[in-house]
Structure formats: structure tokens, C-alpha cells
Amino acid sequence: MSAQPADRAALEAFWMPFTANRQFKAAPRLLARAEGMHYWTPDGRQVLDGVAGLWCVNAGHGRREITEAVSKQIAAMDYAPPFQMGHPLAFELANAIVGIAPPGIDHVFFTNSGSESVDTALKIALAWHRVRGDGTRTRLIGRERGYHGVGFGGISVGGMVNNRKYFGALLPGVDHIRHTHDPARNLFSRGLPGHGAECADDLERLVALHDASTIAAVIVEPIAGSTGVLLPPVGYLQRLRDICTKHGILLIFDEVITGFGRTGSAFAAQEFGVVPDLITCAKGISNGAVPMGAVLVKGAIYDTFMSGPEGSIELFHGYTFSAHPVACAAALATQRIYRAGLFEQARAMAPYWSDAVHALKGRRHVVDLRAYGLVAGIELEPRPQAPGARGYEAMVAAFEAGLLVRTTGDTIALSPPLIIERSQVDRIFETIAAILDRLP
């Protein structure tokens, strides 16, 4: 829909996040209602959700179980302070999440977003080394092209240039290993790319440069989402795990996108058979219905913090809205839906999904295709002198054709709700194919 001239002023006050505000406000794209696999615009046009909102509505929109749990909780107790006080749902939810977490990861710290989860995990890593008497380990290592949210910690370890360059010197003592994208060897790989496990050895370079005794933690996304869906090369994550273990460095998997079934397993850690020391998550934890995030922590790390005097606060960190009761209610209802078999449903759909993605090979503009679980990246050739323009136009054209996709640069990213059916997979790729055929 396009705004009437009178509407333009009404759109002014909201400074929209990660949005070209003036371009949007001149021709807004508004969503007013959602149910199942679909959104509806204010004028009643149906839009198929190809991205689970923004990688978060894994169980589909408007789930009655979640709506009811939220209504009930907000009426029963709207808010409870999380510091030196508790409420039952927080403990119940922590247990539910531990129940699907990888072995040994058995404690949960609640936050309100992925960005807060990342800052929390980095702080836990730093504090853990210090509590153990290893306080020289202060360096944090991220990866080029990584996205870890928008807090100062997250952009410091992150590797997306535009998210960093405006914001000063960032955290001191941070370094980055190289990214794994290797088009020369891995174009159009089915499943995980076969080449690039040795990219993990770049961590050895940083250990040689800084010495392991100065490094606290390494943080990576098992599948890098925001930068355009980069899959881990076969053996890469295991190699990273081995190098971290060898040097006493904590390994953090940022599973804000990959958590809660996106790959077909609860977490990518299980999917790829590599257990990190901490996992950051958010988004799908509460099906996007109420903001929430969490850091999952190995028992051995938690136990170290529990070694001081009983009456002392073990970690000077927390949010006013950590374990918010309404968020906990939404997340508990969400976890019940997941437990009923949603991840298995995603896994069963993954081969059909992957075939549909790779059937775009040879289409105009397509330079690479990447798919895993229910994620896909469709990389388009940038238009000369106008990087990102073709991607943006593809997103707008898809929306006009009744399909919500996400683009980053010239890569179309897809991550539908895990309830997607074959006919809807077909619709997504028919729509995209038609758009690619006519896109300049």
C-alpha cells in the first residue's frame, strides 16, 4: 500500500530501526494482522511469511496456546522483580529449555533480546575467567561478517562493517578470525560446503599473536544469518571447538537465528554435533510473541560462580525485564508447541525445501544458493555501481506479489515458520523465480 499524503506526517515520529526511513515513509509497507503462515496488510492483502517475521515466529502466527497463556499471565501477575525475587514460571521455563539443550548445558540466564544475550554471554565469559583467578583472559574474538546484535559488545565482536564504522573505537582488545565464505570452491554446494574447515585454524593465528593467556572467548554463529546465510564448512565447527579446548578459550555459539528448530534440531550445536560452552538465543524462544532472550551456560561454568560466600551476589548483571512473567508465559507455551514435534516437522520438510532452493540454479541474476534446515540464502549478482539495489528491489517486488522476504545486500534470506507446507514452499519459489525473470 502507499500512504496518502496526509499520512506522511503521521509516520514521521517513529525513527525506524535498520530502515531507510525517508524511502519507507514515502511508500510504506505496513502489516496489520497475522495468522499461521500469513500476514495481512491494512487493506486486506494476504502476504505469505517467508521469514517467520524476522527469523522468530517458528511456530507460525497467532498460536492460540500462546495468546491464551499471555492473557492469563498478564491478568494474574503483570510483572515481578527479578533481582532477589522470583516467580514460578521463570524456573519452569529454565527447566524446559535445559531439557532440549545439548548435554552439559544446564543453566539459563534470561534477557530480552539477542543483543542482550550476546552482551550477557561475553560478560559471563570475562567474569568466569576472573573468578577462576585467570583474569588476564580479557580478549574477545569474533569473526568477519558475524552479526551479534547491536550492543557495544555485539558490534565489537561483530564483523559487519556498516554496523561498526559509525560507532567509535568499540571494545578494546577484540580481534576477529576470517569468515568462511569461499565462493571459488563452494558455489551451489548442497548441504554444508565441503571446503573451508581450515578457516578455523585462523584462531591459531590469533593465539600465536596475542597468546592464549589473554583470550577469554570466541563467539560465532553456527550459521551466519544476517550477513546472507553462510553455512559452516564440514568439520569447521568441530575444529574451532578443538582449538578452543586446547587453549582454554570459551566457545560461544550465537544461536539467535539457529536456535529452536531452524536447522531441524533444537540447536545447531546438536545438529552439527559440537557442544559450545555458552549458547545465546532469543527470537524463537517465545515465538516472537513477547520479547525474550537467554544465555544457556554449561554447569561447570555456573558452578565456578557458585564457589564464593553464600550470601554474595555471584554475577553483577541482570535486566529489569529478565524473566518477565508475560514473556515466560509466552515462552512456556511456545516450548510446549515445540515439544509436540515441530523441530521434527522442520527436519522432514528440509529436503523438499533444499530442492526448491537449488531449483533456482541457472535463473537470471542468481550467483549462489545456500540452504540448510529451513533456511536459505539466494545470492544475486550486484548491479554494477549499485550494490544492494537489486536485492532491495527483489524484496519490494516480492512484497507486492504477496511474499515477505528479507534481503541483506543482494542476498535474499528465507526462514519461514517451521509449520510451512509443501504448497507454500512451492509458492515462495514460484514467486521468487517470476521476480528474478523480470528484475532488471
Closest to ligand PXG by CB, 118 or 192: 118
110 binds ligand PLP (CB under 6 A): no
Closest distance to ligand PXG from the beta carbon of 51 (Å): 7
Helix (H) or strand (E) holding 428: helix 422-438
Rounded Cα distance between 378 and 407, Å, is 9
Closest to ligand PLP by CB, 19 or 320: 320
Closest distance to ligand PLP from the beta carbon of 319 (Å): 4
The residue number whose beta carbon is nearest to ligand PLP equals 320
Closest to ligand PLP by CB, 117 or 431: 117
- Contact residues: ligand PXG, CB under 6 A: 54-55, 113-115, 118, 147-149, 221, 225-226, 254, 256-257, 282, 406, 408, 413
Q: Where are the beta strands (DSSP E) in 221-364?
A: 250-254, 278-281, 293-298
Rounded Cα distance between 14 and 2, Å, is 17
Closest distance to ligand PLP from the beta carbon of 116 (Å): 8
Closest to ligand PLP by CB, 253 or 319: 319
Closest distance to ligand PLP from the beta carbon of 105 (Å): 25
Closest distance to ligand PLP from the beta carbon of 313 (Å): 15
Closest to ligand PLP by CB, 121 or 206: 121
Measured at the CA of 253, the angle between CA 252 and CA 254, to 5 degrees, comes to 110
83 binds ligand PLP (CB under 6 A): no
Closest distance to ligand PXG from the beta carbon of 413 (Å): 6
Extract long-range pairs of 165-174: CB within 8 Å, 24+ residues apart.
171/140, 173/138, 173/139, 173/140, 173/214, 174/139, 174/140, 174/141, 174/142
Footprint (CB under 6 A) of ligand PLP, residues 296-335:
319-321
User: Which phi and psi (to 5°) does residue 105 adopt?
Assistant: -95, 100
Closest distance to ligand PLP from the beta carbon of 321 (Å): 5
Residue 407 contacts which entry, ligand PLP, ligand PXG, none (Cβ below 5-8 A, type-dependent): none
Q: Which of 98, 105, 83 is CA-nearest to residue 314?
A: 83
Rounded Cα distance between 389 and 395, Å, is 10
Rounded Cα distance between 365 and 436, Å, is 7
Q: Which of 349, 333, 354, 332 is CA-nearest to residue 418?
A: 349
Closest to ligand PLP by CB, 128 or 319: 319
21 binds ligand PLP (CB under 6 A): no
Residue 263 contacts which entry, ligand PLP, ligand PXG, none (Cβ below 5-8 A, type-dependent): none
Measured at the CA of 307, the angle between CA 138 and CA 244, to 5 degrees, comes to 35
Residue 221 contacts which entry, ligand PLP, ligand PXG, none (Cβ below 5-8 A, type-dependent): ligand PXG
Radius of gyration over every alpha carbon of the chain, rounded to an integer in angstroms: 22
Query: Distances from the Cα of 279 to the Cαs of 248, 307, 340, in angstroms?
Result: 17, 22, 23
Site residue total, ligand PLP (CB under 6 A): 3
Binding footprint of ligand PLP on the chain (CB under 6 A): 319-321
